[in-house]
Structure 1
């Protein structure tokens, strides 16, 4: 059902990881392999989105998606922002970049981002961080666009279905990167993928995608067995050859173990899972007020960018899921191929073990 809906061969979706990993080459390679590639466009300017989509369309005629962040309501507490700037200046000093002592301007580009995506002819759009208004979903449907959105609880999934979305991604707590939680954010539930997926499947009638901790065919088999119509992988694609993840991020993934990640708000002001490092742990315990998303994201952006350029792993956000240790270096096409092969093998092994009991 979902393969026909998305016009893909395999029920596999590459997560829309914003910030650079989802290069046009990666998105196109995933889609060419029969899965659904996704451009993580949440932090991109409208012009960057337009150029990236054009590059993808040159590389493939297969369907692909574009992921956008729905706008967030936030407070601009100047006192806490300036205090955080002063605190962050010690990191800037260590990196040799200018200190900052002012309140930044934050631009909401969502409407222009979406306008570009629709005009480009992209037929699959995914959202996270909130539930899209039904009027927005209706507008996209009128343009022939399939809408995907993320839920981290059953209640969120029910809300998304009422908004008319076509596909719901059930994001378990194992997932790397930002949490898609939009209801009861202050007391957000951290439900694991295995517990979340079947409950969401039972609660809604639209297709559900399992996400969080899935790295290989075994995880794919588990997700589909739990009732999901497809699986979504993010971390597994960070170490493929076409990925735009920087070298220190790749190496951190390849050298990781199961206990290396944690959920933090330190870098962006919004809960996200990534590798523990000096800046993350220090900001979590420094005692001051941590500005909310997207304010903290903007405040730390110059530090994270320069740390990445200098190869300093202690001052950069490196998002990854709890199963990061299973990552391998290969092409995106090889990853998709192995997922399908391992999926078939996992089902056969499961049936064999069942018959042996």
Structure 2
């Protein structure tokens, strides 16, 4: 049976299908619980939440499903170095983006105060609420933390964009490795080298990692249907993590215009950029990205760039100038068909079964 392997056995789920855990308000209790109730592994991205908000979200998810789900955090949630560097970057960033703020007739925001990491406090909450799966991005966890997770019955998944990252993760004692190919929408979770140098495609990355590590690998990036799942499993992955296809569903936290963009011709053209958050991420190409060279785009450290660009995003949405908004999207978006998570899950299972049983 294609849907029975180490991952489904360890998690007690019916299908090796993981829903990508979206950050920035794009994850919802409804989407996470729907996927888990359908036999997959729902995911919730919580890196922007306070410890109390994480606790409350966990309670809401558990009220809607008794099945496992994946809670995701970022080990490194800020790139802030010093006030002097940030002030210099702010002046450069203002010069680059000033024309776009003027086009929307809004004021350029003042420099935000420095951002302090909240990961350690969030981590304690994870240990307290004990989700079945705790996944993390942008770094490594101390082996002692992973051991503590295991003592509490928490299985741990780390994200890798290169073989070296996968090996580093395995050495810390994680249970799973999410192999994140450069086709993925959203942020590139690289941590050993610059994200620009860590752009291996999913189906190559699966094979590289599978050849060297013993723990199960989850394929992520460029998968939105049963054909992609079947291909990933055939190459040695033991599950597929699907992001963009679930982001396009009505149950996600994406604004309606974002979901519509994923089904539009605009989704054929995606680009990796640091312009909107300060970290490299893939989304639908905007007017700003078409006009500016990525090499010349000054930006603030993450997440201060997000704060800087937030008024521009808000004004653009209000004024209907959606070509200035960076909508997260993977390269696979043009093949999307489904707008409902239940129907999408049914389709994924049916298509994969047909291919792998045939």
TM-score normalised over the length of structure 1: 0.91
- 1:217-271 C-alpha deviation (Å, 9 max, x unpaired): 0000000000001000000101212111111211111013674111111111211
Indicate the RMSD between aligned Cα atoms, in angstroms.
2.1
The corresponding residue for 1:198 is 207
**Contact 2:261-2:267 at 8 Å conserved across structures:** no
- Seen in structure 2, the aligned counterparts of structure 1 residues 117 and 283 have a Cα distance that, compared at 3 Å, is farther
Q: Does 1:333 align with 2:333?
A: no
- Seen in structure 2, the aligned counterparts of structure 1 residues 81 and 165 have a Cα distance that, compared at 3 Å, is same
TM-score normalised over the length of structure 2: 0.90
**Contact 2:132-2:153 at 8 Å conserved across structures:** yes
The corresponding residue for 1:150 is 159
- Seen in structure 2, the aligned counterparts of structure 1 residues 95 and 141 have a Cα distance that, compared at 3 Å, is farther
- Seen in structure 2, the aligned counterparts of structure 1 residues 107 and 298 have a Cα distance that, compared at 3 Å, is farther
- Seen in structure 2, the aligned counterparts of structure 1 residues 51 and 282 have a Cα distance that, compared at 3 Å, is farther
- Seen in structure 2, the aligned counterparts of structure 1 residues 269 and 342 have a Cα distance that, compared at 3 Å, is same
- Seen in structure 2, the aligned counterparts of structure 1 residues 149 and 315 have a Cα distance that, compared at 3 Å, is same
CA distance in 2, matches of 1:348, 1:140: 37
- 1:148-196 C-alpha deviation (Å, 9 max, x unpaired): 1110111110000001111000111111111111112165231111111
Unaligned runs of 5+ in 2: 1-5
Q: Does 1:53 align with 2:58?
A: yes
Q: Does 1:212 align with 2:218?
A: no
The corresponding residue for 1:11 is 16
Unaligned runs of 5+ in 1: 350-357
The equivalences for 1:173-192 within 5 A come to 173-185=182-194, 188-192=197-201
CA distance in 2, matches of 1:318, 1:200: 30
The equivalences for 1:4-83 within 5 A come to 4-71=9-76, 72-76=78-82, 77=85, 78-83=87-92
CA distance in 2, matches of 1:61, 1:239: 25
Shift of 1:199: 1.2
The corresponding residue for 1:130 is 139
CA distance in 1, matches of 2:145, 2:197: 25
Counterpart of 1:203 in 2: which secondary structure?
coil
**Contact 2:188-2:195 at 8 Å conserved across structures:** no
